[in-house]
Amino acid sequence: MRRILVILLGVCLGLAAAALALDRFAPPQDLPWKPLDLDQPIGLSTHFKIARLGRDTARCEALLAAGGVDFVPVPDRREGQCRVTGAGRLGEGLAPLSPAGPVMTCREALALAVWERHAVQVAARRDLGVGVVGLEHFGTYACRSIRGDAAHLSQHGLANAIDISGFILADHREISVLRDYRRADGAGRFLRRVHRDGCRVFGHSLGPDFNAAHKDHLHLDMADFGWGLAGFCR
């Protein structure tokens, strides 16, 4: 029995030492207990950290403000089964959205800010040689069910999703999901890269490979699956 206790004590001490080393040396964006920071690149725990905010809008707004992103709250409202709670409009701090000022939940706005800063801008400079100065989209809030599934409310019905259709570059080029996604050049690589990176931030990241309804946009939402789990990525 004494030998077993000694072994267990050794295992516990080893695990404690490993945890301390992990806490000290591992990148903070990979550790779920480290606070989220908009200056950190996307890591293993980025989605979890955003998702676990839940309806803590005050904390979400504070994170956006600390990262230099404007977020202007809007009143909550209901429309049948649809609802808009803890939502607002993004302002300065990331590439402007077109159309401007769509309403989205704070958690969706936070995910979008992380993705724009650490996926879109990084991929644009890598694959296209310039930064992105504008994000084009088809909308955020729309009171409707999931297309092809009338029994389930779309995340658009909660203002918890955005459909990105294109990107405006600093050299005035326009990158279109519909036109460029499957190309073998830098534009195609850029779109496929930001789509994949969206899977590391959002709950759902759906694009042209998912179905025909998504041939012209990237659907990015922060659906809540509990325990900070991510959803479908295709």
Query: For 205-209, which contacts have Cβ atoms below 8 Å and span 24 or more sequence positions?
Result: 205/233, 205/234, 206/232, 206/233, 206/234, 207/177, 207/181, 207/234, 208/177, 208/181, 208/182, 209/234
Q: What was the pLDDT predicted at 54?
A: 80
- Tell me: pLDDT of 20 over 70: no
pLDDT single digits (tens) 170-226: 999 999 999 999 999 999 999 999 999 999 999 999 999 999 999 999 999 998 765
pLDDT single digits (tens) 141-160: 999 888 766 668 999 999 99
Report the DSSP pairing between strands 132-137 and 87-90.
unpaired
pLDDT single digits (tens) 90-137: 999 999 999 999 999 999 999 999 999 999 999 999 999 999 999 999
Q: What was the pLDDT predicted at 145?
A: 86
